[in-house]
Structure 1
């Protein structure tokens, strides 16, 4: 069956996609920080802080992946 054939591994735009993900994550963090000023709920504050901490971890992983992808394309 023709549709069972996997797509070729195309990494040509992975760095660009990852950079977009980094930018999007930073924007989400900024919006979350702004929303913290508008809430009196300690529960919401803690939730936002926890999300942003996970986002920081994701940013680190994205940046490491960008380095790996950039090194792959150099080879």
Structure 2
């Protein structure tokens, strides 16, 4: 039986990927806010709740960007 080797951990572009995810999420928030104009009370509340979760995700992604940038600066030492 042949065992597959796992791919090496390639973190070289994580910062850029995370930054793109943040920008996409911001775009989703803005698009959702535009649709709120046409939403009724229940839909509006759902959109607001989803945007709040998106904001929380953005905060987490920004924190991860900082961690990844620090790891990049240190040379991505394996732990």
Structure 1: gaps (5+ residues): none
Give 1:1-75 correspondences, 5 Å limit: 1-2=2-3, 4-39=4-39, 41-75=40-74
Q: CA RMSD in A?
A: 0.8
**Structure 1 residue 38, shift from structure 2 partner:** 1.3
Ranges of 4+ aligned residues in structure 1 off by more than 2 Å: none
Aligned residues: 73
Question: Aligned partners of 1:42, 1:6: CA distance in 2, in Å?
Answer: 49
1:37-62 CA distances to partner (integer Å, 9 max, x unpaired)?
Answer: 112x1110010000000000000000
Where does structure 2 lack aligned partners over 5 or more consecutive residues? 75-79
1:13 deviates by: 0.2
TM-score by length of 1: 0.94
